Chains A and B, each alone.
Chain A
Amino acid sequence: MANTQEKIAKLFPQVTVSQGNAGIELTLADQSRWHDLASALRHELGFDFLVTIAGMDWKEEGLGCVYYMVASDRHECLSVKVTATGDREKPYIQSVFDLWDIATIFEREVYDYFGIIFVNNPDMRRLFLNIDWKGYPLRKDYDADPATNPISIESERQTDFTESWVEKDGKIVKEIKRIFQPDDFVINIGPQHPATHGVLRFRTALDGEIIKKIDVYLGYIHRGVEKICEEDTYPQTLHFMDRLDYFSGQIYHHGLCMLYEEAAGIQVNKRIEVIRVLMDELSRIASHCLFIGTYCMDLGATTMLFYALRVREQILDIFEKTCGARMTFNYACIGGVMQDLHPDFVHDVHALLDVLPGNIKEYNTLFTGNVIARDRMEGVGVLTREDAISWAVSGPNGRASGWACDVRKNFPYAVYDEVDFDEIILHEGDAMARFKARILEMEQSARIIAQLIDNIPEGDYLVKVPKMLKIPAGHWFKMVEGCRGTFGIYLESDGGTIPYRLKLAPPCLPAAAVVDHITEGEKIADLITIGGSMDYIVPDIDR
């Protein structure tokens, strides 16, 4: 780590280096050197995984971004704070779309929220909001009056053009570009389509039955969670975690609670950590079960849904007894968990562990080895390791491409460094590998649960926390391993009882964004196979 620090100080003397909770933090006041710095970080220092770009509005200090990145080979995290040039009318920052593929989408998101222009980014459209949306909602001075952007039942304006900003003679000028070529044959899939897993829309350009390009059109379930969080107190923000990726609710809760606890200096005991990890792993099994069910249904094997949901229902029963809900649990809270484990918990979990291996075997007999399934999935939608990292496709999808990206191993939290489990790494990178990775992960989750379930330590399930939680001024970053990959949370506090900015970096946005890249040259009939195998949850993408 000291090594990285020295190298940066030598290459870029004007950069301020400091130490944050997640790793080294760099501050760059002048964005005109940003591309050079980013290029050095990417190529010379090996920071190849861009976790998120958090847009920021610091009021008088201007607008800007905080970039979080990880060096995938040595598990080092680094952040760079870049301030935009220009007034609030037209702030701009150099784009890094050529260094990390995923930056194209991340920068579009920042543009949508804050109106920061990324110079040279080839596609500077809004990402989630309507083309004609007025204002930038995450700015602190946004006018939230519903009359500014009234709800309309008229169809939204569509366009085949996009904008790009380039530097010409010292000025930033706009260029209009085409998304599709004039003679492209474009068909529209979604937002109301049974196999897009929610309200996602693909504008697909075809050449015969070969896919030429997909424009992933998002925002059909953009609920503005990050903005609402800026109006709620810390405990009130928690429940939104259940409603992003509703299968990883427990895990996201766990992550946000850990972040708040770290920031507020609250220590939780071992019992709480074990309970949280047990819940995380149970929900991982439940989530992968639902994936198996719905994915097989997409491929035409409807019966699998019934087999897979059987186990899920059993897990939901366990959750229901303890948490009191089947889906939106709201279980982990700041300083512990809402209520103690139900007396039947240990017994029920044992019953689950007893039936799980038989069920997994059944899935494999019924589906994984099936000739039709293999023909449809093997070699389809191949994602290489380099592309997976560059597109930030983490979780089981990334591991199916040979990238060891498990946060539980790389940045262990709670009790993950005390339990034995294998990180599932496959190398094919196709739809089949992504499917298998999830089945194998269920076994590993069961292993973790088996180690913990009989040794739940004694103690309180909730430690003492102040009634009105205040977090000192500063910023924090935390990553957890959701069911679908790395979930990052960035918090900036101004010392009050509500977050100044809470940025959520979901794993599903990269998973959906990469669909364009991996379907290129594939047949249209395989689109559903590929999209389904990425297992994205649309409310997690759109937030």
Chain B
Amino acid sequence: MEVTTKGMPYEAWKDNEYIEKLVQELRDNGTNVVVGSLDKLINWGRSNSIWPLTFATSCCGIEFVSLGAARYDMARFGWEVARASPRQADFMMVAGTIVHRMVPVFRRLYDQLAEPKYVIACGSCAISGGPFKKSYCVAMGIEDIVPVDVFVPGCPPRPEAMIYGIMQLSRKIKVEKFFGGVNRKKSQEEFLASHPIQETTHE
């Protein structure tokens, strides 16, 4: 079963083994990997109009601005509707360093995103702390804070790399019914259960 997105031949992807392996695993575990035509239609629509939340903390964010401008033109793919409110966005492109003070804010924004929601960790800072690995106040990767769907390496990643990353996400969304649907939701819930926010009251 070939999973791809519009205008991208299946062979052009660099990591098809990974997606095939996932599908295979799910099949082996007895998940029904059949998609109905209604699902297809919905997923087609969803994967071609994923809207990002404007969330840029530093350098990587500027490349994201370039991505929105005429040259790289993400409007071609239906991602151009960058929303300022998390309630209206589908995914979060975490472009930039996340530091100590930003962590609770970032987590709250994630919690405010409407389901289904996705996160792309964009740039080495968001992946692992990047150049600031030795810092006393930078979060070493956002994976400990929210579940991440796609990683885009680079410092900053080129706009082309960002396009590839978001296309990966839209391909994942396309097959979500098979291996996402139940499974994805479950892993997300598990993650959130293991990273709870304690209710505290401040005087």
Residue ranges of A at the interface with B (Cβ–Cβ < 8 Å)? 128-130, 137, 142, 144, 146, 149, 151-158, 191-194, 198-199, 219-225, 227-228, 231, 239-240, 242-243, 246-247, 290, 293-294, 305-306, 309-310, 313, 326-328, 538-539
Is B202 an interface residue, CB under 8 A from the partner? Answer: yes
Q: Which chain A residues lie closer than 8 Å to B84 at the CB level?
A: 193-194
Q: Is the Cβ of B62 less than 8 Å from the Cβ of A290?
A: yes
Nearest B-chain residue to A308, judged by Cβ? B69
B58 near A539: Cβ-Cβ < 8 Å: yes
From known contacts A129-B137, A198-B56, A328-B156, infer whether A220 and B66 are also in contact, taking CB-CB under 8 Å.
no
Contact partner of B100 (CB less than 8 A), chosen from A130, A225, A290, A538, is A130
Q: Which of B128-155 contact A (CB under 8 A)?
A: 131-132, 134-139, 144-145, 155
Q: Say whether, besides A149-B136, A243-B131, A309-B71, A220 and B197 are in contact (CB < 8 Å).
A: no
Whether the pair A313, B197 counts as a contact (CB closer than 8 A) is no
Alpha-carbon gap, A198 to B61, bound state (A) = 9
Residues of B within 8 A of A153 (CB): 103-104, 107, 145, 195, 197
Instruction: Please determine whether B202 and A158 come into contact, CB atoms closer than 8 angstroms.
Output: yes
A73 to chain B minimum Cβ distance, whole angstroms, is: 37
Among A128, A157, A192, A240, the one with the most B-chain Cβ atoms within 10 Å of its Cβ is A192
A–B pairs, 7, beta carbons within 8 Å: A151-B144, A155-B108, A219-B101, A220-B102, A222-B100, A225-B132, A239-B131
- Residues of B close to A191: CB separation below 8 A: 102, 105
Question: Looking at A151, A153, A310, which has the most chain B CB atoms within 10 Å of its CB?
Answer: A153
Q: Is B170 an interface residue (CB 8 A)?
A: no
Least distance between B158 CB and chain A CB atoms (Å): 7
* B200 contacts the other chain (CB 8 A): yes
| Contact A306–B69 (Cβ < 8 Å) | yes
Are the CB atoms of B139 and A151 closer together than 8 Å?
yes
Interface size, B (range) = 35 or more
B145 to chain A, nearest CB (A): 6
- Given A130-B101, A222-B101, A328-B155, A227 and B136 touching (CB < 8 A)? yes
A151 partner residues in chain B, CB cutoff 8 A = 100, 103, 139, 144-145
Given contacts A224-B138, A243-B59, A326-B158, 18 further A-B contacts (CB under 8 A): A137-B137, A146-B136, A149-B137, A153-B197, A156-B104, A221-B58, A221-B96, A224-B136, A246-B59, A247-B62, A290-B62, A309-B66, A309-B70, A309-B71, A313-B66, A326-B63, A327-B62, A538-B57
Cβ B62 vs Cβ A246 within 8 A: yes
A137 and B70 within 8 A (CB) = no
Given A223-B138, A294-B65, A305-B69: A199 and B57 interface contact (C-beta under 8 Å): yes
What is the CB-to-nearest-CB distance from A328 to chain B, in angstroms, rounded to a whole number?
Answer: 6
A220 touches B69 (CB 8 A): no
Residue of A nearest to B129 (CB): A223
Answer whether residue B19 sits at the interface, using C-beta atoms and an 8 A cutoff: no
B133 to A, closest residue via Cβ: A228
- With a 10 A CB-CB cut-off, give which of B84, B96, B105, B195 has the most chain A CB atoms: B105
Chain B contacts for A293, CB-based, 8 A: 69
A228 to B137, CA, bound (A): 11
Tell yes or no: B97 within 8 A of A by CB: yes
Residues of A within 8 A of B136 (CB): 137, 142, 144, 146, 149, 224, 227
Q: Is the CB of A227 within 8 A of B135?
A: yes
* Shortest distance from the beta carbon of A367 to any chain B beta carbon, whole Å: 17
B113 contacts A by Cβ under 8 Å: no
Would you call B59 and A327 a contact (CB within 8 A)?
yes
- Which one of A142, A192, A240, A309 contacts B69 once the chains associate, using CB atoms below 8 Å? A309
Expressed in whole angstroms, the minimum distance between the Cβ of A13 and any Cβ of chain B is: 43
Q: Which residues of chain A are within 8 angstroms of B138 by Cβ–Cβ distance?
A: 223-224
CB-nearest residue of chain B to A227:
B136
Measured between C-beta atoms, what is the minimum distance from B155 to chain A in Å? 6
In chain B, what residue has the closest Cβ to A231?
B134
Does B118 lie at the interface of the complex (its beta carbon under 8 Å from any beta carbon of A)? Answer: no
Contact A154 B134 (CB under 8 A): no
A221 CA to B107 CA in the complex, in Å? 15
Residues of chain B within 8 A (CB-CB) of A156 are 101, 104
A246 / chain B contacts, CB cutoff of 8 Å: 58-59, 62
Interface string of B191-203 (1 = CB under 8 A from A): 0000101101010
- Tell me the complex Cα distance, A220–B61, Å: 15
